[in-house]
Amino acid sequence: MFTYKQDFIRVASCSPAVSVANPSANAKAILDVLRRAKEQGARLAVLPELAITGYTCGDLFHNSLLLQRVEEAMEEVIDYCPEGMTAIVGAPVQAGGALYNCAVVLTRGKVHGITVKTYLPNYNEFYEKRWFTPANAAMPAKVDFAGYSDVPFGTDLLYNVYDTLVGVEICEDAWAPIPPSCRLALSGAMVIANLSASDDVIGKYAYLRDLLRQQSARCLCDYVYASAGFGESSTDLVFDGKNIICENGRIVAESDRFCADSKLAVADVDLHAIERDRRHLMTFADCAAREVDGSLRIVLASDVISGNLPCYFKDEDVPMINRKVNPLPFVPADSEHLAERCEEIIHLQATGLRKRLRATGCRNLVVGISGGLDSTLALLVAVRAFDLEGLDRRGIHGITMPGFGTTDRTYRNALDLMEALGISIREISIAKAVTQHFADIGHDSTVHDVTYENSQARERTQILMDVANAVGGMVLGTGDLSELALGWATYNGDHMSMYAVNAGVPKTLVRHLVRYFVTLLADEKVAHTLLDIIDTPISPELIPADEQGNITQKTEDLVGPYELHDFFLYYMLRFGYSPRRIFHLAKGAFAEKFDESTIAKWLKIFIRRFFSQQFKRSCLPDGPKIGSVTLSPRGDWRMPSDAQSAEWQKECDKICQSLHNNF
């Protein structure tokens, strides 16, 4: 089994300026762009199809002088390729009396292998079979090229590039019903390189981006696509130059198009994440077992590393370039997709609730309204579900239950919101009941400990459950995914409900969902109330307010910033990252907001709470799955409640110790 020693590898998609039918000029342009890629630390550089000649040479491909100059120019590229880098360059290659459209894999002073294009297009403007022969069983397994003998040749090659398996396909190959990259990925390739010369027409770029994203997702791989750009013949076509780097369904880097000079896109691609998903998704391994016969040749395609290129890291902390780490991984970065995502999430929540209403025959919901974000979102989703079902909103029974820590601000917002949405409103103070409970169990009410807090939470849940019985309804849970991860809920208190509509929504996303409702609702009073709820500090309000009536118990002061905890949660569950790896990514994502010590502190607390609070997640009420990260014990997260966190804590301690030693 091939063992991956790296976490990331830095790759470059390069489009040098083209001089049609001028291999010598193209060699200089190729070397120039390779040097630029080397300066940015790339270990693997992918260039376009037929980059050494230009794609649009036409019948000149059969001219003996051009083919002679190809090998001479490729010798120059091989001799002067930057050290510490593997380059994949498109070139025509003669073999067995035929001419093939190929990708030449090289390092300085060595040609490691040549991959042949499998599928040749037969469009009117791209009739490659006029000049080239597609890959076939009769072609030789080795060829002589550019002064090098016995170079591996064919479509059955995988390249070991600095301990990373790389597969190669060429342009049209990716458009085939079963692209060669499928077999290459199933055989172990983590990175797929595509050398292309795709012209541009209206709408093609958007289609191509989707095609590459989907192929990287289907193959669970990193996909590096480089296409010919400025300088290709414009006799009938225009080549815009496309440099796209995808990773398991998303684009991590791309360059500008329509540039009049050489350009490149550089990114660190995540091998660890790819390996984890392949290990986790059984369909990949099952498909490999059915479709792969193990006949591919693995070719070492690396040179001796010279210098200290910052292209990958394992234990050392090497900064990443051209790979933006979103500090809010649950939240789309651009506003257009954010609105679309919010609407989809609300539909998922509302649809799950509608199904539960129909299944139970309930026409009444009971929900505790605190004036905070979570209960606000639950109420808004309930209103959406009732409207879609054609049910009277008065069947939603909103109950505000002021206690010892309730502030005028949250109390007023709760009432205003319920009134504006036209639901049934009830106010039931918990103060008298909890005071009696303290007397019953012998608790001193001046001691604001966990008993003081949890008694209030459980009293509120008892009220909700009993009212639900009285009206023939069910209790709608308000707790969110982040609270479940941290165990920030009172066991059998706010931890329990009949349907937990927010269970799949992390705290950082709740705020955006509530803000999205502001754009949907025409009522200015509702909008004003929602905006004030968004601006209110997150708090369970179980400790009395200060003398000015302000919230004293702020959740993020106690358990840490939800931005950090959601980041930790995402990368631990989605990719199975270790604390050290999460810490490294968090440093880059939050460089302008949190220092390293702060990140390390809250990461350690997150790990401790995540493990110790599993028992609460083991008996969660039903709730809809929203994204790829969920904590339902019946679905995506199966974990024993008494699992030990010792190894994770040790790694956190090492991080903290390292930071201490650096000061």
Q: Report the C-alpha gap between 40 and 145 in whole angstroms.
A: 30
pLDDT at 308: 42
Is the Cβ–Cβ distance between 585 and 465 less than 8 Å?
no
* 633 pLDDT more than 60: yes
Q: What digits encode the pLDDT tens for the residues 160-172? A: 999 999 999 999 9
What global pTM score does this model have? 0.87
Region 559-576: mean pLDDT is 95
Q: With a cut of 80, say whether residue 534 has pLDDT above it.
A: yes
| pLDDT band, residue 27 (cuts 50/70/90) | very high
Amino acid identity of 23? P
Give me the mean pLDDT over the 554-563 stretch. 87
- pLDDT above 70 (res 321): no
DSSP H helical ranges for 575-642: 579-589, 596-612, 614-617
pLDDT value at 179 more than 90: yes
Average pLDDT of every residue of the chain: 91
Q: Of the residues 81, 171, 246, 342, which is catalytic?
A: 171
94 has a pLDDT exceeding 70 = yes
- Which of the four CATH numbers 3.60.110.10, 2.40.40.20, 3.40.50.300, 3.20.20.70 does domain 8-300 have? 3.60.110.10
Instruction: Kindly report which listed range (53-67, 330-344, 360-374, 640-654) carries the lowest average pLDDT score.
Output: 330-344
DSSP 349-385: HHHHHHHHHHHHT---EEEE--SSHHHHHHHHHHHHH
Binned at pLDDT 50, 70 and 90, residue 322 comes out as: low
Lowest mean pLDDT among 32-36, 413-417, 654-658: 654-658
Sheet with 142-145, strands from edge to edge, namely: 142-145, 148-154, 110-116, 98-107, 86-95, 44-46, 8-15, 263-270
Q: What is the pLDDT of residue 467?
A: 98
Cβ atoms 78, 109 nearer than 8 A: yes
- Tokens 């991860």 correspond to 485
Contact 89, 99 (CB under 8 A): no
Q: Can you tell me the distance from the alpha carbon of 429 to that of 439, in angstroms, rounded to the nearest whole number?
A: 17
**593 in active site:** no
CA 351 remoteness from chain centre: 25
* Strand ranges of the sheet holding 297-300, from the earlier edge strand across to the other edge: 250-254, 243-247, 222-227, 191-196, 164-170, 157-161, 297-300
Interatomic CA distance for residues 154 and 150, integer angstroms: 12
Q: How far is 455 from 450, CA to CA, in rounded Å?
A: 8
**Mean pLDDT within 4-29:** 89
Distance CA 207, CA 617 (A): 42
Has 28 been annotated as catalytic? no
* Residues paired with residue 254 on neighbouring β-strands, in sequence order: 244
Q: Report whether pLDDT(483) > 50.
A: yes
Q: Looking at residue 304, what is its pLDDT? A: 58
- 204 or 260: whose pLDDT is higher? 204
Q: State whether residue 174 is helix, strand or coil.
A: helix
Q: How confident is the model at residue 663 (pLDDT cuts 50, 70, 90)?
A: low
What is the SS3 assignment for 533-567?
HHHCCCCCCCCCCCCCCCCCCCHHHHHCCHHHHHH
As a 3-state breakdown, the chain gives helix, strand, coil percent values, each rounded to 5, of: 40, 20, 40
Beta-ladder partners of 152: 142
Query: Can you give the pLDDT at residue 498?
Result: 97
CA–CA distance, 227 with 244 (Å, rounded to integer) = 9
> How much is the pLDDT for 516?
94
What confidence score (pLDDT) does residue 307 get? 41
Nearest to 88 by CA among 162, 159, 29: 159
pLDDT at 362: 94
Q: Is 49 a catalytic residue?
A: yes
User: What is d(CA 43, CA 271) in angstroms, rounded to the nearest whole number?
Assistant: 14
> Phi/psi of residue 53, each to 5°?
-115, -25
C-beta separation of 212 from 225 below 8 A: yes
Catalytic residue among 28, 38, 117, 507: 117
pLDDT tens-digit readout, 98-144: 999 999 999 999 999 999 999 998 865 668 899 999 999 889 999 99
Percent of the chain with pLDDT over 70: 95
Question: Each residue of 227-236: pLDDT tens digit?
Answer: 998 888 777 7
416-465 tens-digit pLDDT:
999 999 999 999 999 999 999 999 999 999 999 999 999 999 999 999 99
* pLDDT of the residue at 332: 84
Coil, strand or helix at 208: helix
Fold adopted by 335-661: Rossmann fold (3.40.50)
pLDDT for the residue numbered 9: 93
pLDDT confidence tier of residue 1, bands split at 50, 70 and 90 = very low
Neighbours of 139 (CB within 10 A): 17
Eight-class DSSP state of 577:
-
Q: Of 49, 128, 247, 563, which residue is the catalytic one?
A: 49
Q: Does residue 3 carry a pLDDT above 70?
A: no
Please state which of the ranges 271-280, 400-409, 543-552 shows the lowest mean pLDDT: 543-552
Domain positions in the chain are 8-300, 335-661
pLDDT in tens, 643-659: 999 999 999 999 999 88
The tokens 């010892």 sit on which residue? Answer: 404
